[in-house]
Chains A and B, each alone.
Chain A
Amino acid sequence: DADVTQTPRNRITKTGKRIMLECSQTKGHDRMYWYRQDPGLGLQLIYYSFDVKDINKGEISDGYSVSRQAQAKFSLSLESAIPNQTALYFCATSDYSGGSTDTQYFGPGTRLTVL
């Protein structure tokens, strides 16, 4: 079974609709992240959470919100979707234990299309 899962894997919606993307992990990691991938732009950080009570904005948080329901669950919401939010969205987790590595592990991605 995958350590980091995302649902749905694909979603097509219309402008103005509210959308929630979900992420679950079984790695036991404290840190979780949401990224957006656009062609030719690499990945950009939307939000990150170091634990259930610690949520922070990333580079491109406008138009997005998140909820950390439990250590293992981190949801991304688009309150009113717009076409330029069409992208591939990735969840990631990491376990910072005081070392310098803090490797991030990624889910399979959600492809979102806003019409």
Chain B
Amino acid sequence: GNSVTQMEGPVTLSEEAFLTINCTYTATGYPSLFWYVQYPGEGLQLLLKATKADDKGSNKGFEATYRKETTSFHLEKGSVQVSDSAVYFCALRGGGSNYKLTFGKGTLLTVNP
């Protein structure tokens, strides 16, 4: 079956530091890949997505590239802000009509001023 493994947190950074949160996956077929963000006390929000190999998703300064050869979708941001403090979830959706989202366990990011 499908699975997602993301780096365990918590991750603590200073403002303006570079961020990488690793995500690797196992899936059959051609999955779509997602990063969701959950700010404190809120629901999950879609941060970015990529639907095929070599696609780069980007939003709010975050980027992730769908790497089929390494089955990875690492999240990066060049300069984090305090407001980026949240839990980040990597997820995949199987190809075709497969409805199911498979989530990683989440990575808590704390950015200090």
Contact = CB atoms under 8 A, between A and B. Distances in A.
A33 to B, nearest CB: 8
Contact of B99 (A41, A48, A105, A106): A48
Interface stretch (A14-22, A60-68, A75-83, A95-103): A95-103
Interface in A18-33: 31
Interface size class of chain B, counting residues whose CB lies under 8 Å from the partner chain = 20 to 34
Most B CB within 10 A of own CB, among A42, A90, A107: A42
Given A48-B99, A50-B99, A96-B97, A102 B44 contact: no
Contacts of B77: none
Interface residues of A, number: 23
B46 A45 contact: no
**B contact patch SS:** loop
Contacts of A102: 32, 93, 99
Interface in B15-47: 30, 32, 34, 36, 42-46
Given A90-B43, A101-B49, A103-B49, 7 more contacts: A42-B103, A43-B89, A45-B100, A45-B101, A96-B97, A100-B52, A100-B96
**Shortest 6 CB-CB distances between A and B: which pairs?**
A42-B103, A106-B44, A108-B43, A42-B105, A106-B43, A43-B103
27 contacts: A40-B106, A41-B105, A42-B89, A42-B103, A42-B105, A42-B106, A43-B101, A43-B103, A45-B100, A45-B101, A50-B99, A90-B43, A94-B99, A99-B51, A100-B32, A100-B93, A101-B51, A101-B93, A102-B32, A102-B99, A103-B34, A103-B49, A104-B46, A104-B101, A105-B46, A106-B45, A109-B42
